[in-house]
Chains A and B, each alone.
Chain A
Amino acid sequence: MKPPFHWKIFLGELALYTVLVLTYFLAVLHYLLGWLKGLYDHDRTSFAIVALLLMIGQAAVLEVLSSFLFGLIRGKRK
């Protein structure tokens, strides 16, 4: 049985991600930019590790938050 397609869920997700993108611009660019550039220039091994960890961390956070949003919207529909 195919699950029903909920556009509202996706719109809700898009709104959440818009907020996250703005948060990233503020947090990562303003607070981490100098540190990341310094790491890139002086310690490539640490930079490579931090880059992978940041990406994995961001992916995990986005996935958890979107799943939470899915559950929230489905709960409201029920």
Chain B
Amino acid sequence: MYFPISDCTVNPVYLIGLGFIIGILGGFFGVGGSFIAVPALFAMGVPMNFAVGTDLLHIVGKSMVAARKHRTFGNIDLRLAAVMVPGTILGSEAGVQAIEALKKVAKVDLVVGLVTIVVLLATSIFVFAESWQALKLRGSRKPVSQQTAQEKDKRAFKFISRWTHSFKWSPTLSLPHSGVKSISVWAILLVSFVSGIFSGFLGGGAGYIRMPALVYLLGVPTHIAIGTDLFEIIVSAGYGSFRHAMNGNVDILIALIMQTGAAVGAQIGTVLTQYFNGPRIRIAFAPLPLIGAGLIIYRLLTEHAAHLTR
């Protein structure tokens, strides 16, 4: 099928299939799935600038479906999500501006890329080690129906979130839905701002940074972290796709077709979270940042090769 906006020909069945797979990942892990979608679209023949912008737009629709479904399961902390929104938007803009500014400085791309790879590798190793330990922990003796969200979600390294909660820089607020008695608004804004920077720098929703940050730094139970992260992805991807559309990098028809598959996948992924406990979801999540790291390595190598051929 020919898509006149991006001037390319792509089989729509592939688009629906790709959307379906990314939808499952998004609903289950709370990620945008750009690390798969962008290279896959590019491989199908969609120009890279359109692949990035179109993927962001389809993420908006997919995350809306998944987030609404997560809300019916009580997996979104609306108070936390609302506080995170300004940090996410400012972070996304800062990430985009920073990358534009850094492009003018030689070798800075390499440094930023390497730092990001280290962060992603560390995230992956940490999540795997923690969830491996958490799987060995004994759960609460209370009946499941009487357990709070915090008691249901076993975590091995709780000292990190306790340390974050110990900062009482005002204003502070409680997050009863997540079982957090008191936390500084600045801690929430910092987490959303930093994950927003990753979103602006790498493109996509940066769920593979935000989701673990919500769990380990803010002490949010895994299922609620996934739902709340999806809510933030709607904001960051919505903002990003609007900017890309203004620059002419969005093929709305490709995004709409992808989203028809993604909507089904997102619902399946969301429902599947009900059959796995927090540590099992997290241990399955652990390899995802490695894919992000692999993509940055690929980008750095191809840019280096292109530089050599000039």
Q: Does B218 contact A (CB under 8 A)?
A: no
Q: B250 to chain A: which residues have CB within 8 Å? A: 47-48, 51
Q: A10 to chain B: which residues have CB within 8 Å? A: 264, 268
Q: A13 to chain B: which residues have CB within 8 Å? A: 264, 267
Q: Does A26 contact B (CB under 8 A)?
A: no
**Cα distance, A44 to B245, chains bound together (Å):** 7
Q: Is the CB of B245 within 8 A of A3?
A: no
Q: Is the CB of B65 within 8 A of A62?
A: yes
Q: B61 to chain A: which residues have CB within 8 Å? A: 55-56, 58-59, 62
Q: Is the CB of B5 within 8 A of A55?
A: no
**Cα distance, A61 to B288, chains bound together (Å):** 30
Q: B16 to chain A: which residues have CB within 8 Å? A: 21
**Cα distance, A51 to B253, chains bound together (Å):** 9
Return the contact of A17 from the options B245, B247, B260 (Cβ within 8 A): B260
Q: B21 to chain A: which residues have CB within 8 Å? A: none
Closest to A65 in B: B263
Closest-CB distance, A15 to chain B (whole angstroms): 11
Return the contact of B267 from the options A1, A29, A66 (Cβ within 8 A): A66
Q: Is the CB of B60 within 8 A of A37?
A: no
Q: A59-B65, A63-B263 are in contact. Are A52 and B257 (CB under 8 A)?
A: no
**Most chain A beta-carbon neighbours within 10 Å: one of B4, B255, B257, B260:** B260
Q: What is the total number of residues of chain B having a CB less than 8 Å from a CB of chain A?
A: 38
Q: Is the CB of B245 within 8 A of A52?
A: yes
Q: Is the CB of A59 within 8 A of B60?
A: yes
Q: Does B248 contact A (CB under 8 A)?
A: yes
Closest to B259 in A: A58
Q: B252 to chain A: which residues have CB within 8 Å? A: 36, 47, 50-51, 54-55
**Most chain B beta-carbon neighbours within 10 Å: one of A33, A44, A45, A55:** A55
Q: A10-B268, A63-B65, A63-B263 are in contact. Are A25 and B246 (CB under 8 A)?
A: no
Q: What is the total number of residues of chain A having a CB less than 8 Å from a CB of chain B?
A: 35
Q: B263 to chain A: which residues have CB within 8 Å? A: 17, 59, 62-63, 66
Q: A40 to chain B: which residues have CB within 8 Å? A: 5, 248
Q: Does B162 contact A (CB under 8 A)?
A: no
**Cα distance, A5 to B267, chains bound together (Å):** 13
Closest-CB distance, B24 to chain A (whole angstroms): 11
Q: Is the CB of B264 within 8 A of A55?
A: no
Q: Is the CB of B58 within 8 A of A55?
A: yes
Q: Is the CB of A21 within 8 A of B257?
A: yes
Return the contact of B245 from the options A21, A24, A37, A48 (Cβ within 8 A): A48
Q: Is the CB of A5 within 8 A of B65?
A: no
Between-chain CB contacts (< 8 Å), 8 pairs: A1-B145, A14-B264, A20-B260, A36-B5, A44-B246, A48-B242, A58-B259, A63-B64
Interface residues, chain B, with chain A CB atoms under 8 Å away: 4-5, 12, 16, 57-58, 60-62, 64-65, 68-69, 144-145, 238, 241-242, 245-248, 250, 252-253, 255-257, 259-261, 263-264, 267-268, 271, 274-275
Interface residues, chain A, with chain B CB atoms under 8 Å away: 1-3, 5, 10, 13-14, 17, 20-21, 24-25, 28-29, 33, 36-37, 40, 44-45, 47-52, 54-56, 58-60, 62-63, 66
